[in-house]
Amino acid sequence: MEIHAQPLLRALHTAHQHLREELVPMLFETHSAIDSEMVTRDLADDLEQAWAKANDLSRAIAILQTVSSDFVGEDLRQAKLEGTLLAGVRWNATTTWPEEWEPLIRRASMPAEKEPGVLVIAAEPSNTKVPADT
Q: Read off the pLDDT of residues 1-18 as tens digits, 9 standing for 90 and up.
A: 556 677 777 777 787 777
On whether both 6 and 51 belong to a single domain, the answer is: yes
In the prediction, which pLDDT does 30 show? 61
On whether both 19 and 51 belong to a single domain, the answer is: yes
Cα-atom radius of gyration of the chain, to the nearest Å? 25
Q: What is the mean pLDDT of residues 95-119?
A: 92
On whether both 115 and 82 belong to a single domain, the answer is: yes
CB 79, CB 96: distance < 8 Å: no
110/107 Cα distance (integer angstroms): 8
Neighbours of 39 (CB within 10 A): 19
On whether both 32 and 88 belong to a single domain, the answer is: no
Tell whether the model's pLDDT for residue 33 goes beyond 70. Answer: no
Which of 19, 41, 68 corresponds to the end of one domain? 68
When pLDDT is cut at 50, 70 and 90, the band that residue 125 belongs to is low
5/19 Cα distance (integer angstroms): 21
Q: What is the mean pLDDT of residues 28-46?
A: 69
Q: What domain range includes position 104? A: 69-134
pTM: 0.51
On whether both 34 and 76 belong to a single domain, the answer is: no
113/110 Cα distance (integer angstroms): 9
On whether both 58 and 96 belong to a single domain, the answer is: no
How many domains is the chain built from?
Answer: 2
In the prediction, which pLDDT does 26 show? 66
All residues at 6 or more sequence positions from 65 whose CB lies less than 8 Å from its CB, including other chains: 88
